[in-house]
């Protein structure tokens, strides 16, 4: 077993109370941003955007929209993980152009890939498409939580907020975005009793089945 990985995962917990005086350094935040850029996604499309809310008054406005969970205002950083509402052929074309440039592939050699993508998105209703892109946002969440644990930065994944109200407060809908998850980041307060509680997890035998 790789103990460094397991140590990271045991160290982290969903922090309830942050030390509002402690801020993430710009160097660590750069690592977090680059880690977010490296999150994998279906087709490599990255139909996500991370809104980092640094503005204090905006965080105070968002607080009651997230059931007054104190992490919203006390954490060093608050990230609203958003995903696209719609994936237009233009978005697909931009992805193909990027891929063609980065990997030096002729655009015409990617046309079938693009057609397949457009055809699969065309089959989905607006609601199904939003659900599909939201799944991509959850991949970001798992990925970034481990990055933060490795940096010994606390993180709280949060679904407990009014998504429609966040979309309105941050003007997301008109930018083809929907809020999916919140991620508070920072440093645990010594008063957070949750930090010393043992992890509640099922035994391996209940969650892993090996088909021989």
Ligand X SMILES: Cc1cc2nc3c(=O)[nH]c(=O)nc-3n(C[C@H](O)[C@H](O)[C@H](O)COP(=O)(O)O)c2cc1C
DSSP labels, 123-152: TS-HHHHHHHHHHHHHHHHHHHHHHHHHHT
Alpha helices in the chain (DSSP H): 3-11, 26-37, 56-62, 71-74, 89-103, 111-122, 126-151, 163-169, 204-207
Residue 121 vs 161, nearer CB to ligand X: 161
Residue 17 vs 85, nearer CB to ligand X: 17
Q: What are the backbone angles phi and psi of residue 147, rounded to the nearest 5°?
A: -55, -45
* Helix H or strand E encompassing 182: strand 177-186
Cβ atoms 151, 27 nearer than 8 A: no
Cβ of residue 94: shortest distance to ligand X, in angstroms? 29
Cβ of residue 14: shortest distance to ligand X, in angstroms? 3
Nearest to 83 by CA among 42, 133, 38: 133
Cβ of residue 72: shortest distance to ligand X, in angstroms? 10
Residue 156 vs 179, nearer CB to ligand X: 156
Residue 16 vs 163, nearer CB to ligand X: 16
Binding region for ligand X (CB under 6 A)? 13-14, 16, 69, 156-160, 199
Position of minimal CB gap to ligand X: 160
Residue 110 vs 185, nearer CB to ligand X: 185
Cβ of residue 107: shortest distance to ligand X, in angstroms? 38
Cβ of residue 91: shortest distance to ligand X, in angstroms? 26
């Amino acid at each position: 077993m790789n103990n460094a990985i397991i140590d990271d995962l045991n160290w982290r917990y969903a922090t309830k109370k942050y030390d509002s005086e402690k801020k993430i350094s710009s160097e660590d935040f750069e690592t977090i941003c680059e880690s977010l850029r490296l999150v994998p996604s279906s087709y490599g499309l990255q139909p996500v955007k991370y809104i980092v809310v640094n503005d204090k008054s905006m965080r105070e406005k968002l607080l009651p929209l997230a059931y007054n969970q104190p992490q919203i205002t006390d954490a060093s950083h608050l990230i609203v993980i958003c995903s696209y509402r719609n994936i237009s052929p233009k978005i697909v074309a931009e992805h193909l152009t990027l891929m063609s440039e980065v990997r030096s592939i002729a655009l015409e050699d990617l046309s079938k890939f693009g057609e397949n993508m457009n055809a699969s998105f065309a089959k989905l209703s607006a609601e199904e498409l939003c659900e599909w892109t939201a799944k991509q946002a959850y991949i970001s969440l798992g990925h970034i939580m481990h990055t933060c644990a490795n940096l010994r930065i606390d993180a709280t994944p949060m679904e407990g907020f009014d998504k429609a109200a966040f979309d309105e407060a941050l003007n997301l809908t008109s930018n083809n975005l929907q809020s999916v998850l919140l991620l508070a980041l920072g440093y645990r307060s010594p008063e957070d009793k949750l930090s010393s509680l043992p992890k509640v997890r099922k035994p391996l035998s209940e969650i892993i089945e090996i088909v021989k």
